[in-house]
Amino acid sequence: MNPADVVYKMLPESYFRKIRDVYYKVNRLLYPPLNKQKFRDFLIRKLNIREGMVVYIHSSMDKLNIDFSPFELLELLLDIVGENGTLVFPCWHYRGRAEDYLDNADAVFNVRRSPTTMGLLPELARRHKGAVRSLHPTTSIVAIGAAAHDLIDDHHTDIYPNGINSPLYKLMGYNSRIIGLGEKVVSLSFVHVVEDIMKDNFPLQTLHDETRQGKVIDTDKKERFIDTLVPHSNISNRDISGFFNKHVTNNACHSFKYKGVNYFAAKPTELFEELSVLAGVGSTIYG
């Protein structure tokens, strides 16, 4: 576990946030913000983003040190992958635990209207004229580009949020990358794909047995009730960073800092294979 994670666990969250904000201010003094051309070169050279790729993006605009707007960043990413590529973002619409959200009788997910809580860049993607958003009631995903409908359209038909019909699982059928912009691997939701594919063969129960329903308003403004499984309390204690540092190769997922900012790049197929082998011998992010 790195020093920042140790401090996070020891201090109240409000104190940690203050320390973090000071760190980012100092970092911006030490390193001048990257302009659009330099950041484009970085995305291509360091994160290996290419034309025609499917790229799943975790992001934090607050942590990035760039001198252009989030809207311009989205356009830059779209330009790099081109008309044959696709950008994909997490786009769920609530905070806290999925089961708590579904326990609220008034909870409604409007696929066209509900803003995402996953950050500014996914929200801009959601509002893009070419965006396609999945109907999944707890783990909605949004995509823009050539493969958007193939990735998104049947996500809600699988009760496993990251099962075979999920966009994350389908990444492995494409030339794809998962990247973190200003984020560490703690945000890497792809780790749950192995759990949902292995099901009872995974060493730990990660989803409740009981199927739950979420109320959804679809793109035709029709009300639907969609079934899903929700996370088990077993998954609350996990150490993704420590597990990856110890067990996962840089070929599958490479984490690094560039000018004081955290980034990562993962290859979905290679990462899935490594995590599956590790789970097969009882080694998981849950200890």
pTM, rounded to two decimals: 0.91
Six token digits for residue 104: 């609220």
The per-residue pLDDT for 10 is: 60
Local structure of residue 207 (DSSP, 8 states): B
The per-residue pLDDT for 287 is: 86
Distance CA 151, CA 218 (A): 17
DSSP letter string, 250-263: TTTEEEEEETTEEE
The per-residue pLDDT for 153 is: 98
Six token digits for residue 252: 């599958």
The per-residue pLDDT for 39 is: 98
The per-residue pLDDT for 60 is: 97
Q: What is the largest CA-CA distance in the chain?
A: 52
The neighbour count for residue 285, using CB atoms within 10 Å, is 26
pLDDT one digit per residue (tens) for the chain, 287 residues: 555 555 455 657 666 566 656 766 666 678 899 999 999 999 999 999 999 999 999 999 999 999 999 999 999 999 999 999 999 999 999 999 999 999 998 999 999 999 999 999 999 999 999 999 999 999 999 999 999 999 999 999 999 999 999 999 999 999 999 999 999 999 999 999 999 999 999 999 999 999 999 999 999 999 999 999 999 988 988 999 999 999 999 999 999 999 999 999 999 999 999 999 999 999 999 98
- List phi, psi (to 5°) of 145: 135, -170
Contacts of 162 (CB under 8 A, 6+ apart): 139, 168, 169, 189, 190, 192, 193, 195, 196, 197
Question: Are 241 and 186 spatial neighbours (Cβ–Cβ below 8 Å)?
Answer: yes
3-state helix, strand, coil in the chain (%, to 5): 40, 20, 40
Q: Is 21 exposed, middle or buried (0-12, 13-18, 19+ CB in 10 A)?
A: exposed
CA–CA distances in Å: residue 241 to residues 31, 166, 244, 286: 25, 24, 5, 11
The per-residue pLDDT for 118 is: 97
